[in-house]
Structure formats: structure tokens, C-alpha cells
A and B are shown apart, each in its own frame.
Chain A
Amino acid sequence: MIESYLPVLVFIVLAMGIGVVPLLAGFVLAPRRPDQDKLSPYECGFEAFEDSRMQFDVRYYLVAILFIIFDLEIAFLFPWAIVLDEIGLFGFGAMAVFIGILLIGFLYEWKKGALEWE
């Protein structure tokens, strides 16, 4: 079955090439007249007064963590969903316990306000 993935690999390489070719064409065909003002960061006409790699809101970090947890849950749900009609009621019950535990965590973060963006 592994050889059926060959077209996928070829496609990924070609898709990357499709990104490279227009960009190269742009660099070749377009003018290049850089000057200091053109290359400075765009901040609505003002000079940038500090580096832009500054502090950022911790909530973005929180969302990223929640994403990892829930994506993992989806990874567990995929195989279960495919064979659900074979594993029957017992499989359903086992997954219900798993989702129940996860939902308790979800409720906890909901009540804690981790999902609030005032």
C-alpha cells in the first residue's frame, strides 16, 4: 500500500515548485530599487520605535495548549469512529468515559475563563 503514497510525495514536491517559480519570475522581471525608507517596517507612516518581537498576550499560549489537547482527542476519536459498528456498545461506552473525562476538563477551563477574550 505504501507505493500508493508516491503520487502524494510527487504532488508535494511539485506544489512547492509551483510556489518557487512565480516568486523567481517576480525577482527576475520586476524592478529592484531598494532604499532605506521602502525597506523599513510599515507602521502607518510612523517610524518604528521598538523591535516588533515584543511581549504578547498569554491567551494565545493558552489557546495553543488547548489546541494540542483537543487535537490529541481527535486523534483518539478517528480510529474509534471507523470501527464503531464492529466494537458495538462496549466500545461506545469506553469512548463515552474518555470523552466524559475530557469534557470535565473542558468545563473546568470554561469556568476558569480560559476561553474568554474580553
Chain B
Amino acid sequence: MSELIELAWIVAKIVALVVPLFVAVAYMTYAERKVISAMQLRRGPNRVGWHGLLQPIADALKLLMKEVVLPSNANRFLFVLAPMLAIMPALAAWAVLPLGEGIVIADINAGLLYVLAMTSMGVYGIILAGWASNSKYALLGAMRAGAQVVSYEIAMGFALVGVLMAAGSLNMSEIVHAQAGPIWNWFWLPLLPLFVVYWISGVAETNRLPFDVAEGESEIVAGFHVEYSGMAFAIFFLAEYANMILISGLAAVMFLGGWYSPFHGLPVLGPMFDWVPGIIWFCLKICLFLFLYIWFRATFPRYRYDQIMRLGWKVLIPVTVVWLIVVSGMVLTEFGPWF
């Protein structure tokens, strides 16, 4: 009986995390359209509901009512499985992300490794979707996306090794604890090159502009999900936005001090902001990164595919290797306030 209660408690916690996450995903699409509109001096969605606030709900209902086309040449099982494989890791990785002091669903020791494993799973959904559609555009888009995601995962992995060296633990809460203190104690400062590399690879991992050749509308129609429609398409869409929020959350946990306020431990300013719960700071940091995503989309032209691969292999990987050596020197000499 007590096991059943425990299980129910776990499920309740997961629901309490996933429901706000879905709301965030829905309103991320709204915020994206609004912010890009503002940057292009226009209004964005403003008809459905007050200031267009019901737009994401209208979009979801519309997609729900659209036919899910199963192309005649597709492998049906894999075609239906692919969107699930895309959304599963984007959500499941949240299990180990600490939202505040002690607010985490599974406080496991191999947290970062688990996150890396989950983000790697995402590529299966893409490759399967492209291959199962049995369409040339879809296959080409899947190949491109697969190679791109896999290449940037190396750079991301190296950047995470730097975080591990600085924190000395794979546990996500421990990584945040290692950054306790005001804003200059967080890892973004000593690991600045790795932070930049992580963020660029994060944008490339989620196939967002300026690295969205995988679904470049003007080149290969829509890439790996050309043949998807209705709810099957909507799940890919959800997965993409959930992944963006996940990458932002990881950036906040690993480089921006997770739930700590930027004035933590300062003499006067610190106590002034003590009443703000940690989870608010965490959400604010996520919003900062999500805004960066939108900003990139509104300002950068798309990279060419060869430029993307060159950036991934020939720029980001050498930068991380050099900085890993610098960081190991800093750890061995116990440099600065960080290590």
C-alpha cells in the first residue's frame, strides 16, 4: 500500500511539472510571434482573445481537428513511433533538473549523464521520422539534422566536462550548490568560452535559427517532418519547443547558478531579495535564454550547411579543448573563488 502511495506521489509531482511545462511551451509560441513582430515593427497575433492570448489554444484545437495523413509508402509503425521518440526525451530529461533548493523529481547522482543521454535520444526521433516517411525531402532533412545534432553534441559534451571539473559532481543540485554566491561566483564567468560554446551548440541541437537547415522551408520544404500533419506534426512542434526550454533550463543550472539570486550572499542587496523564492529566479533565467532564442531568430540569416559543420568541428571543438586545459590548470591551482 505504501508503495502505491509513493508511486501516486511521484506521478503527482510529474504532473505538477509537466502541466506548467506544456503551458510554457504553448505560450512560448505566442511569445515568439509577439517578440518577432515587435522586432519587425508589427503587432503579431492580437485577435483571438485579449491581446491574442488565446492564440496558442486556438492553434492547438485547429491542429487537433486536422487529418493525420499516413503516406502510402511510409513504414506505418515507425512513422507513428517517431514523434513519440522526439517528445519523450525532451520531457523526461526534466526529471533531474532542480527547480529550486530540493525541488527536483529524481535527485540522482548521474544527473548530467542522464541529461546527455536523453538529449542524444532526440536524434532517433528525427532520423526515424525522415526515414519512415519514404520521401526524398524528408530523408535529406533527417540526414542533415542527424549529422548536425550529432556534431554539436560533441562540442556540448566537451563544454559539460568543463562544468564537471568546476563542480566536481554529476548531480545537478550539487552543480548548483557549487555556484552558491553572487553573480560573479556562477560558472559563466570562469567558463565563459564553454558557456558560449554550450549555448551555440544548444541552439544548433534544437535546430533553431540560424542553424535550421534541417527544416529550411525555402530549401527542402520542411525537412524531416514534411509528411507529418495534424496531431503528429503538433507533437514534433511541441518537442522542439520543449527542447528549447530544456536547453535553457540546463544553461541556467550549469552556468547561471540555477535557483540562486544574483545578489546571493551580498551584505545589503542579498537580504533585500531573500523573500523571492528560488524557483522565480530559475524561471527568470530560463526566460532570458528563451528570449535569446527568439532574438537570434529575428536577427540572424541562416547558416549554410558546410558553414555549420565547419563551426561545429573546426571552431567549437578546438575552443573547448583549449579551455578544458585552462580549467584543469585552474582546478589544480585552486584559482579564484570558484574551485
Name A's B-contacting residues (CB within 8 A).
Answer: 1, 4-8, 10-12, 14-16, 18-20, 22-23, 25-27, 29-34, 36, 38-44, 48, 51-54, 56-57, 59-60, 63-64, 66-67, 70-71, 74, 77-78, 81-85, 88-89, 92, 95-96, 99, 103, 106, 110, 115-118
Known: A10-B10, A11-B95, A19-B87. A78 touches B137 (CB 8 A): no
Known: A10-B14, A63-B150, A74-B161. A26 touches B232 (CB 8 A): yes
Known: A16-B88, A54-B136, A67-B151. A23 touches B71 (CB 8 A): no
Give every chain A residue within 8 A of B138 (Cβ-Cβ): 52
Q: Is the CB of A7 within 8 A of B106?
A: yes
Q: How far is the CA of A42 from the CA of B94 in the complex (A)?
A: 36
Q: Is the CB of A41 within 8 A of B71?
A: yes
Give every chain B residue within 8 A of A92 (Cβ-Cβ): 328, 332
Listed A/B pairs (29) with beta-carbon separation below 8 Å: A7-B13, A7-B106, A8-B95, A8-B96, A11-B94, A11-B105, A14-B11, A14-B18, A14-B91, A16-B88, A26-B64, A26-B231, A29-B65, A42-B226, A53-B131, A56-B139, A64-B147, A64-B150, A67-B154, A77-B161, A78-B164, A84-B328, A84-B331, A85-B331, A92-B332, A95-B328, A115-B309, A115-B314, A117-B305
Q: Is the CB of B306 within 8 A of A117?
A: yes
Known: A19-B84, A78-B113, A117-B306. A8 touches B108 (CB 8 A): yes
Whether, in the assembled complex, B35 has its beta carbon less than 8 Å from a beta carbon of chain A, the answer is no
Q: Is the CB of B72 within 8 A of A116?
A: no
Give every chain A residue within 8 A of B221 (Cβ-Cβ): 42, 44
Q: Is the CB of A29 within 8 A of B306?
A: no
Give every chain B residue within 8 A of A81 (Cβ-Cβ): 161-162, 164-165
Residue of B nearest to A96 (CB): B325
Q: How far is the CA of A67 from the CA of B317 in the complex (A)?
A: 12
Known: A5-B108, A7-B10. A18 touches B91 (CB 8 A): yes
Q: Is the CB of B147 within 8 A of A52?
A: no
Whether, in the assembled complex, B66 has its beta carbon less than 8 Å from a beta carbon of chain A, the answer is yes
Give every chain B residue within 8 A of A44 (Cβ-Cβ): 221
CB of B180, distance to nearest CB on chain A (Å) = 18
Give every chain A residue within 8 A of B133 (Cβ-Cβ): 41
Q: Is the CB of A71 within 8 A of B153?
A: yes
Q: Is the CB of A41 within 8 A of B11?
A: no
Give every chain B residue within 8 A of A56 (Cβ-Cβ): 139, 143
Whether, in the assembled complex, B158 has its beta carbon less than 8 Å from a beta carbon of chain A, the answer is yes
Known: A64-B147, A78-B113. A40 touches B72 (CB 8 A): yes
Selected contact of A84 from candidates B143, B231, B332, CB within 8 Å: B332
Q: Is the CB of A30 within 8 A of B158?
A: no
Q: Is the CB of B137 within 8 A of A42?
A: yes
Interface mask (B232-253 → A, CB under 8 Å = 1, otherwise 0)? 1011000000000000000000
Residue of A nearest to B63 (CB): A26
CB of A48, distance to nearest CB on chain B (Å) = 7
Q: How far is the CA of A6 from the CA of B4 in the complex (A)?
A: 13
Q: Is the CB of B71 within 8 A of A110?
A: no
Give every chain A residue within 8 A of B11 (Cβ-Cβ): 10, 14
Give every chain A residue within 8 A of B146 (Cβ-Cβ): 60, 64
Give every chain B residue within 8 A of A116 (Cβ-Cβ): 306
Q: How far is the CA of A25 from the CA of B235 in the complex (A)?
A: 12
Residue of B nearest to A61 (CB): B147
Whether, in the assembled complex, B29 has its beta carbon less than 8 Å from a beta carbon of chain A, the answer is no
Give every chain A residue within 8 A of B165 (Cβ-Cβ): 81-82, 84
Q: Is the CB of A43 within 8 A of B306?
A: no
Q: Is the CB of B106 within 8 A of A4?
A: yes
Q: How far is the CA of A106 from the CA of B250 in the complex (A)?
A: 29
Q: How far is the CA of A18 from the CA of B17 in the complex (A)?
A: 13
Give every chain B residue within 8 A of A12 (Cβ-Cβ): 88, 92, 95
Residue of B nearest to A52 (CB): B136
Give every chain A residue within 8 A of B73 (Cβ-Cβ): 40-41, 51-52
